[in-house]
Amino acid sequence: MPEVLRQAAILVGGRGTRLGSLTDSIPKPMVEVASRPFLDWLIEEVARHGIPRITLLAGYLGQSIVARYDGKTIHGAQIEVLVEPEPLGTAGGLRLFADRLEERFLLLNGDTRFDVNLLDLALHAADALATLALRREAPGERYGTVAIDPQGRISGFAARAPDRTGPINGGIYLMRRDIVAHIGPGAVSMEADIFPRLAACGQLRGALYDGAFIDIGIPEDLAAAQSIIPAMAHRPAVFFDRDGVLIEDTGWPHKPEEIRWMPGAATAIKRLNDAGYFVFVVTNQAGVGKGFFPESQVAVMHGAMAEHFAQAGAHIDAWEYCPNHPEAALAQYRLDCPRRKPAPGMINDLLAAWPVRRAGSFLVGDKASDIAAAQAAGLPGHLFAGGDLAAFIAKLLPPP
């Protein structure tokens, strides 16, 4: 299985001259989309995949990016900003800051949004120095196209032409740090200089996706983004109980080494990620209040579960738990908590914090209290009695 991704770098150094006066005083990724900087939307999308470190490679007016993002934490991801001393193109910054890169990392263009499961890209990387997320179909008059063979090897690139259609470069790349050895000094273009050379020597792979794609590099697309980007951010959600659904309920499980996975758990989560759902966990953990294990152990368990899912190209967007119980042995947890199922508090908190589209959302649990919590939140609940979770989920999803 592939290593878990620990870093995503985002290229935010360009001026965006085609946007005219809009970028006279702000970098292109900071232009407003639906009353927020475009970069806000992009960082949130990356962070929800569980990637703990996001590095912004800034240039033009980079201090404005430093002021807004450096040192912040978004959905658990720590943000850092590195500013180029001079324009270095889309590749030169990687060479300059090579010592700040993980062995394997994601690289994203800071002016595009491509709706894909970012962790899936690692499953296509094989031995390549770089693996590109490709939009399967796009008009050739707007974008150059990519030649890819049935084994996923990229053989070349073609200039844009009105009689040609995709696949196109989607602006998301999984890279090995060794790629910096192919980047010369000064301003270097990843797309024009590095990728064609890697393709020629068989070091470039691609993965095809059908998700929505837009860039904000020209006024027409920026105008379209005002409605497209918020629509991309809103998606249905699946809420999972934990014990008895994702892992076996062995009696207050709290040690990673004792996890017994439900058959098909990782496959089910990845299928939902690939289909564009938010995936949340809502779990009662009264074992904390009853003194069976410390509250800190819940995070240890969820961290171990997240690692397991990530190795399969899957992720949980958010983990919610309630340690309270009306009869808890420990006084600080002895309360009738509105977050404890069958109350809907955990679900309602997630609905308030995330752009969930209720249509198509549902909960999967193994107890009547799970279903009651879903109903109290106004969502359908489905009772899982064990067996293959992936097969169970497949029956609940609309046909592709």
Residues annotated as catalytic (active site), given as ranges: 241, 243
Contact (Cβ atoms closer than 8 angstroms) between residue 54 and residue 8: yes
For the chain, strand residue ranges (E) read: 7-12, 32-33, 36-37, 53-58, 73-74, 77-83, 104-109, 112-114, 130-135, 145-148, 154-158, 168-176, 204-209, 213-215, 237-240, 278-284, 318-322, 362-365, 381-383
**Can you tell me the distance from the alpha carbon of 240 to that of 262, in angstroms, rounded to the nearest whole number?**
13
The dihedral formed by the CA atoms of 130, 133, 136 and 139, expressed in degrees to the nearest 10? -90
Q: Check: CB of residue 202 under 8 Å from CB of residue 151.
A: no
Sort 400 into a burial class: Cβ within 10 Å, 0-12 / 13-18 / 19+: exposed
DSSP per position, 151-166: TSBEEEEE---TT-B-
Cα 320 versus chain centre, distance? 18
Q: Which two tokens stand for residue 396?
A: 């609940």
DSSP 216-255: -SSHHHHHHHHHHHHHHH-B-EEEE-SBTTTB---SS---
